[in-house]
Amino acid sequence: MSARQKLAVLGLWLSAAAAAESPQEAVRKAMESSIARQRQAVAAMQIPIERQRAAVAASRSDKGGGAAAELAPAPFFTLSWPALGAGCDPLPDVELNPLIQQAAQKEELDANLLRAVAQQESGFRSCAVSPKGAMGLMQLMPATAQELGVRDPFDPAESLLSGARLLKQLLARFGGDTALALGAYNAGPSRVEESGGVPQIPETIRYVQQILSQLPMP
């Protein structure tokens, strides 16, 4: 082989070596691709806030208006959850129970109440998304999550802590009456105040009854 041919072969070998990826580089790129796909999936589930507000306004109109008006522009609604995210498994108790205890302790809230609300809201499915876009264990609307400073509404710890904070606020507002606080969590505090009790909305009545039935007798 002539010197020119040897140089040509060497050049081809160097080009191929430069183009080849090391195993470490291939793993790095695969991880970056996976993270990007996860971010895209979460973004796809987060309906824009403007559409959320429009949906809430339509829901208020359909039900007679006024639901959770004092929480605008960050409404916190309870809606049926299985539209999206129904395929994920409920969190196991070994993971869920410590998170509930931590959130309840931090907000000085009854852990049994927080657990019952989370079960009613999402069936303990951290990836649950309602038809209206409420997200996570405690079904946070995007605007509410933003108002509460939640970075990831699908993170169980953040969702539970935010839900516990809201429940505590509602209990304080309604003199510690659990039924009224739950009615406000579901239908909005204005509805509770206007009706002088749990709003006579079938969904809200069922919601309150089902949660109260799970709590230990005083």
Planar angle of CA 126, 127, 129, nearest 5 degrees:
115
Catalytic hit among 70, 107, 121, 203 = 121
Are the C-beta atoms of residues 156 and 167 closer than 8 Å to each other?
A: no
Residue 140: closest CA among 149, 171, 31, 88: 149
71 vs 171: CA distance, rounded Å: 15
CB-based contact 87:206 (threshold 8 Å): no
What residues contact residue 144 under an 8 Å CB cut-off, 6+ apart? 71, 74, 75, 76, 162, 166
Is 32 a residue of the active site? no
Residues with catalytic function? 121
